[in-house]
Structure 1
Amino acid sequence: MADSPSRIPSGRLSLAASEGRPIALGPLDGRYRPTVAPLVDYLSEAALNRDRVAVEVEWFIHLVKNSVLPDVGSLTESQAAGLRRIVTEFDADSVAELAEIEAVTVHDVKAVEYYIGRRLEGLGLTRLTALVHFGCTSEDINNLSYALGIKGAVENVWLPDARALVEQIAEMARANRDEPMLSRTHGQPATPTSLGKELAVMAHRLGRQLDRIAKTEYLGKINGATGDYAAHVASVPSADWEKVSESFVEGLGLTWNPLTTQIESHDWQAELYADMARFNRILHNVCTDIWSYISIGYFKQVPVAGATGSSTMPHKVNPIRFENAEANLEISSALLDTLGATLVTSRWQRDLTDSSSQRNIGVAFGHSLLAISNVAKGLERLDVASDVLAEDLDANWEVLAEAIQMVMRAEAVAGVPGMDNPYERLKELTRGHRVDADRMKEFVSGLGLSADAEARLLALTPATYNGIAGKLVDHLG
């Protein structure tokens, strides 16, 4: 069978080989780059290398400052400052130099060791070159570098944006605390609530997850090739290596893990990613609910000047921010789930499955951050359609059936006669029928209720039958 001819001209230019500005393969480094760019300082390959340099430099200083090795001498203030400038002056040229070294070493952490070693002569520290990476396996540097990068990304980028979104939802809840709204359980008209209370539920759920994430323990270790300080003790048996390790890790702002194999076990990462994925899924639920409220007219979308809603239907304003967020939340959660499942397993004392997996942490964070941004922008373009909410309530007087039959039950307990079978009587009145205000009041008036109970029910409307919904918003603080 002959090959089918290609529909694309075979002589087309190769975009991958084009010179000048690189063309992104994925959307986070392409059209969505401005939104996720803050993560680059923490979770990119360049940021990882900068953090590796930082950990190596601080380990070097720690060993000298604490005289861990005999006859190591001391550092002048100028030398210590010069070492730290290796980190603070890390830039695009540094990235390129590291890449050149790694092309020879074919090992990223070894390249960092040589990169630092090149700079010691200018600081008058050539004699201490052997102290760079002393006692370390690559994972001693990597686990601490990843922990610092992830901690920075969570605390300085992701968590502030997520908190701002939750507060945005909370403000909407407060502003609409007393806006009556028909509920829909199973998609059917149900006991009314308030729009503010339903938004408050969303904010409360999301906020609980953020509180969990804010309490994350970022663990780290620096204890050698199999986690037992073998090389350390062999080279300097007089040192208290556990104390040296603990003080160093905690000095980086991390929590020391005393028991590991070659790798820090990554359990804290799995815990963090599970909480983030749960936040994503709750936010996904927020998107589907808001999308549905837009669909039935509870929210009006404010058109963006000049924007196109549909390529063929000019009247449309599509809820694309929420749909975009849903997709990105699903991608992020899938990656976070995979990372959490993969990272907790390592064959015996070490395998490299974690190495490739962890390079996707930034992608998982990026899709979540992009979704958060889209939801925030989508909420900004919403107006509450109070008239639609009111019309929907007024068209569903049958939702008062619950209130009437419960009042009848209370009356029966109080000894009021004629209150038998309240559920069945309201079922006969309302199931499969639309009941208007007049019919409902006629029914109430014929029940023989006590005067107080009858007055309360006759005054009740679908718009006022929502209990303490507005007051519940106050739980947001």
Structure 2
Amino acid sequence: MERNIFENICPLDHRYSLKKDLFNDLGKYFSEKATIYFQARVELALVKALAGRGVCSFDVVKEVEEAVKGIKVGEVYEEEARTRHNIRALVNCIRKKISAEARPFVHLSATSFDIVDTANSLRYKEATEKLIVPALERLLEQWLNLAEQERDTLQIGRTHGQHAEPLTFGLVMAYYASRLHERIVNLEKVVSSLCGKMAGAVGAYNASSLFFEDPEEFEKEVLKELGLKPAPVSTQIVPPEYMTDYVHSLITVFGVLADFSDDMRHLQRTEIGETGEYFAKDQVGSSTMPHKRNPINYENVKSMWKTFMPRMVTMYLDQLSEHQRDLTNSASGRFIAEIASGLMMTVDRLYKVSSRMKINSRKMKNNFNLSKNMIIAEPLYIFLAAAGHPDAHEYVRKLTLKADKEGKDLVELIKADKEIETYLAKLDKRQKDILYNPEQYTGIARERTEEIVTKIRKERGL
């Protein structure tokens, strides 16, 4: 059935799907067509395992394989309208395409959620390995490049929205790259744990035990065809914690992207102006203010995170299923694909923005200079304490108040204060340089940046 995308209801299918290549890639795993395709793959794997046990011939496997290739979503939906059961509809559609001799072996010994949960684990595993992780690695590499490029770019650090101590913008980028890297590692670990089942209606292998003395081994054989392992124990469904952990890992990736975007958005404020989004030649920032250049991409990332992050609550609710299974996760479970798709669209957007980020080092230096004469308060206090001053912190605190009240530089006041001459005399050249040249007070920001970048590149082979 052909449909104009602008007649779709979900914004992911119209507003955020205009990039056709990405939308097509997402469709391979997250569309309804993909859902049925992966379920059909599980049905085929079951028949292959039955043939491997001699229950049916390999000719049956060939028939089912061809039938699966010819399955169309529309016909499955038409059959479901008649049967009121999605998996039975799929099974019937496969059976219609094969010989009478082969039909008994389709879905033999399986229950619906042997197919549904296994297919979901399979498609999310493959989507993550083939689509999501590579996209995240591209973004990660871009952030690493920026960290290297800006490893010496002076920036004032901020805590609680206030100027704190200087660092470099490279270290800021390395910080976000490190968080993203750790989330990718976590995602890979979690997705490798996604598992399937072929344990029957209540998880007791009732049906398969009619054929095999070792139904658990048979389950392993079915899942091996798909590159999955069985859950340690199941009811009618795979224990929900595996999918809960998977979605949680996606949401925490989303959180890193949103935090980064929120920081960059604030740095783009008029009065700060340290970073900026790329602005296309014909792009309009406001319908009434022609001069506006709004951080729309960073704001979109945060907005998408706000859309999908709360759905994690639903995943926690879906941990509850009455006895061996109820249907209270039947509808909600279908929306996991939207979370993964929303994340992918956000990663794609942020990669483009990051690759064309404007960094205003001059404005960073100007903003640093606003606090240049106060930020030496920390090293001054530490130097004085180390030199034996009995109450260095209180002394420096009062000195900062005096500097602020009299409109003087902190450096001027300490040079003129005879009370601390003996303590300052104990400082070496490097320590004095830091006091009188606050630009040098960046700790090991450069070295940490290089260390982080090198470590991540080595671990990921970038």
TM-score by length of 2: 0.89
SS of corresponding position for 1:395: helix
Structure-1 residue corresponding to 2:452: 475
Q: Is the 8 A contact 1:194 1:469 kept in 2?
A: yes
Q: Is the 8 A contact 2:399 2:410 kept in 1?
A: no
Residue-by-residue CA offset, 1:327-349 (whole Å, 9 max, x unaligned):
101112122332x2132110011
Q: Does 1:55 align with 2:55?
A: no
Q: Is the 8 A contact 1:166 1:206 kept in 2?
A: yes
Following superposition, the deviation at residue 448 of structure 1 comes to 2.7
For residue 24 of structure 1, what is the amino acid of its counterpart? N
SS of corresponding position for 1:311: coil
Residue-by-residue CA offset, 1:427-476 (whole Å, 9 max, x unaligned):
12213715537626625896234656153344222221011011111223
For residue 30 of structure 1, what is the amino acid of its counterpart? H
Structure-1 residue corresponding to 2:83: 105
Distance in 2 between the 1:261 and 1:184 partners?
51
Q: Is the 8 A contact 2:385 2:392 kept in 1?
A: yes
Q: Is the 8 A contact 2:276 2:295 kept in 1?
A: no
Structure-2 residue corresponding to 1:311: 287
Following superposition, the deviation at residue 371 of structure 1 comes to 2.0
Q: Does 1:357 align with 2:340?
A: no
Structure-1 residue corresponding to 2:459: none
Distance in 1 between the 2:78 and 2:267 partners?
55
Structure-2 residue corresponding to 1:392: 367
Choose 378-387 or 145-154, whichever is displaced more.
378-387
Distance in 2 between the 1:19 and 1:157 partners?
26
Q: Is the 8 A contact 2:76 2:90 kept in 1?
A: yes
Summarize the alignment of residues 450-461 of structure 1 with structure 2, pairs less than 5 Å apart.
451=425, 453=427, 455-460=429-434, 461=437
Structure-2 residue corresponding to 1:146: 120
Distance in 1 between the 2:417 and 2:161 partners?
27
Following superposition, the deviation at residue 88 of structure 1 comes to 4.2
Unmatched 5+ stretches in structure 1: 1-17, 413-418
Following superposition, the deviation at residue 395 of structure 1 comes to 2.4
Distance in 2 between the 1:464 and 1:443 partners?
22
Structure-1 residue corresponding to 2:347: 372
Q: Which residue of 214, 217, 226 maps to 1:243?
A: 217
Q: Which residue of 403, 406, 409 maps to 1:436?
A: 409
Structure-1 residue corresponding to 2:142: 168
Following superposition, the deviation at residue 309 of structure 1 comes to 1.0
Q: Is the 8 A contact 1:192 1:465 kept in 2?
A: yes
Summarize the alignment of residues 339-358 of structure 1 with structure 2, pairs less than 5 Å apart.
340-358=315-333
Structure-2 residue corresponding to 1:215: 189
Residue-by-residue CA offset, 1:154-173 (whole Å, 9 max, x unaligned):
22222222222222222211
Distance in 1 between the 2:265 and 2:3 partners?
43
SS of corresponding position for 2:166: strand
Summarize the alignment of residues 32-51 of structure 1 with structure 2, pairs less than 5 Å apart.
32-35=16-19, 37=23, 38-51=25-38
Q: 1:249 to 1:20 in 2, by over 3 A?
A: closer
Following superposition, the deviation at residue 81 of structure 1 comes to 4.5
Distance in 1 between the 2:381 and 2:205 partners?
73
Task: Report which of the two structures shows the higher radius of gyration computed on alpha carbons.
Answer: 1
SS of corresponding position for 2:285: coil
Structure-2 residue corresponding to 1:183: 157
Q: 1:99 to 1:444 in 2, by over 3 A?
A: farther
Q: Is the 8 A contact 2:6 2:14 kept in 1?
A: no
TM-score by length of 1: 0.86
Structure-2 residue corresponding to 1:117: 95
Distance in 1 between the 2:5 and 2:415 partners?
75
SS of corresponding position for 1:148: helix
Q: Does 1:298 align with 2:271?
A: no
Distance in 2 between the 1:317 and 1:227 partners?
58
Structure-2 residue corresponding to 1:424: 394
Distance in 1 between the 2:426 and 2:69 partners?
76
Q: Is the 8 A contact 1:98 1:115 kept in 2?
A: yes
Q: Does 1:24 align with 2:8?
A: yes
Residue-by-residue CA offset, 1:123-165 (whole Å, 9 max, x unaligned):
xxx3131111101111111111111111122222222222222
Q: Is the 8 A contact 1:308 1:314 kept in 2?
A: yes
Q: 1:116 to 1:239 in 2, by over 3 A?
A: farther
Distance in 2 between the 1:435 and 1:372 partners?
47
Q: 1:292 to 1:62 in 2, by over 3 A?
A: same
SS of corresponding position for 2:164: strand
Distance in 2 between the 1:127 and 1:80 partners?
12
Distance in 2 between the 1:263 and 1:118 partners?
28
Following superposition, the deviation at residue 273 of structure 1 comes to 1.2
Q: Does 1:201 align with 2:175?
A: yes
Q: Is the 8 A contact 1:301 1:381 kept in 2?
A: yes
SS of corresponding position for 2:273: coil
Q: 1:444 to 1:273 in 2, by over 3 A?
A: farther
Q: Is the 8 A contact 2:278 2:353 kept in 1?
A: no
Distance in 1 between the 2:410 and 2:276 partners?
28
SS of corresponding position for 1:184: strand
Q: 1:149 to 1:454 in 2, by over 3 A?
A: same
Following superposition, the deviation at residue 376 of structure 1 comes to 2.1
Q: Does 1:86 align with 2:67?
A: yes
Alpha-carbon RMSD across the aligned residues, in angstroms, is 2.3
Distance in 1 between the 2:93 and 2:189 partners?
35
Following superposition, the deviation at residue 104 of structure 1 comes to 1.8
For residue 309 of structure 2, what is the amino acid of its counterpart? S
Distance in 1 between the 2:228 and 2:49 partners?
15
SS of corresponding position for 1:303: coil
Structure-1 residue corresponding to 2:255: 281
Distance in 2 between the 1:394 and 1:281 partners?
32
Q: 1:403 to 1:212 in 2, by over 3 A?
A: same
Q: Percent identity?
A: 26
